[in-house]
Amino acid sequence: MKLTELFQQERLSLSFEVFPPKTEGNFESVRHATEEIAKLRPAFMSVTYGAGGGTSRYTLEIAKNIKERYGVPSLAHLTCVSSTRQTVHQRICDIREAGIQNVMALRGDIPAELADSDRSRWDYRHAIELVRELRAADPTLCIGGACYPEIHPESTNQREDIRYLKEKVDAGCSFLTTQMFFDNNLLYNFLYKIREAGITVPIIPGVMPITNGNQVERAIKLSGSFMPQRFKALVDKFGTTPAAMKQAGIAYATDQIIDLYANGITNVHVYSMNKPDVAAAIQQNLSAILGMDV
Ligand code: FAD
């Protein structure tokens, strides 16, 4: 099923993100976690892609398993920046052979060892190049792109970031998923600006439940997200008490989702990070709103 069909509904739906194993050795535990999340029957599940890593082939395997075994639509991520054209073309063939209809086209973070190299020699510099190739390979593919309510860390200003985003969408994105954010007002402001810039595809906000104190620093560093005072107070109070932090983080994410839905957003993507218990707790908190039998 193409995700764009899901995005037309009026009721709240949740999707969950999982990531493939970082080493061969923990494939089974990751598969188990992804299957537990699939049993929650989310609207869809996305499977991230470890740029250049030896386990990147598992992205497709997990996406296929979720779709075929559990009937949950899957979204396979693909990055391009540290790959050759030949590798990317092979991945595109694999995606088509696996019958995957939804692909998240990403640039990927620039590896430290490439940071100072001559970019004119790279096969790919931006996600738009991958979007174009995917669109040319299959005009019917449902292609997602990433967007940044608080601007991408490499962008000098939001106007420029949105201009490149519009070009990426025009190249063939069917929808966009946002980077995590902890203040919904930043998302509402971003939506206003991108609609004004003529971007009309569905925007799926990404919400990250922060469930342990150590995760905070890493998440903020990666995303550059602003931490509202209310969120900081919560981390200060519960950050060193794992069970309490987990409960508070789930409550905060739940509250964000309720506010998004109350403001007209019907699809929310949860960065559930291979944690079935966290995905289940958020779903349970929202069961009546989601219209689930409880
Ligand atoms: P781009 O769209 O190429 O944008 C990157 C920067 O380049 C921005 O500053 C943009 O303004 C600028 N830019 C874009 N086009 C041009 C142009 N033509 N000329 C000049 N500048 C331009 N990473 C992974 O490794 N694996 C994953 O599975 C993964 N999943 C993600 C999912 C989501 C929803 C998000 C938000 C991020 C994800 N990432 C993932 C991280 C992502 O790869 C990084 O944020 C990366 O730095 C940028 O990727 P992009 O696709 O947004 O790049």
Six-digit token string for 183: 């203040």
* Torsion over CA: 145, 150, 155, 161 (sign): positive
Cα of 79 vs centre of ligand 1, distance in Å, is 9
The dihedrals phi and psi of 90, each to the nearest 5 degrees, come to: -65, -45
Please indicate whether residue 17 is annotated as part of the active site.
yes
Looking at residue 160, what DSSP letter applies?
H
User: Who lines ligand 1 at CB under 6 A?
Assistant: 48-49, 51, 77, 79, 104, 106-109, 126-128, 146, 152, 154-155, 161, 164, 168, 177, 179, 206
Q: DSSP per residue over 34-56, as a string?
A: HHHHHTT--S-EEE---TT-TTT
Cα of 138 vs centre of ligand 1, distance in Å, is 22
* pLDDT tens-digit readout, 232-260: 999 999 999 999 999 999 999 999 999 99
pLDDT at residue 55 greater than cutoff 80: no
Of the residues 5, 10, 17, 150, only one is catalytic, namely 17
The label of the residue with tokens 């598969």 reads: 31
- Bridge partners (DSSP) of residue 105 are 78
* pLDDT tens-digit readout, 61-114: 999 999 999 999 999 999 999 899 999 999 999 999 999 999 999 999 988 888
Ligand 1 binding pocket mutation candidate from 164, 193, 273 (most atoms within 8 A of CB): 164
Residue whose Cα lies nearest atom 25 of ligand 1: it is 108
* pLDDT tens-digit readout, 186-233: 999 999 999 999 999 999 999 999 999 888 888 888 888 899 999 999
pTM above 0.85, yes or no: yes
Q: Round the CA-based radius of gyration of the chain to a whole number and report it.
A: 18
Q: Please, what's the largest Cα pairwise distance for the chain?
A: 57
Q: Which atom of ligand 1 is nearest to the CA of 155?
A: 9
pLDDT at residue 53 greater than cutoff 70: no
Six-digit token string for 8: 């037309």
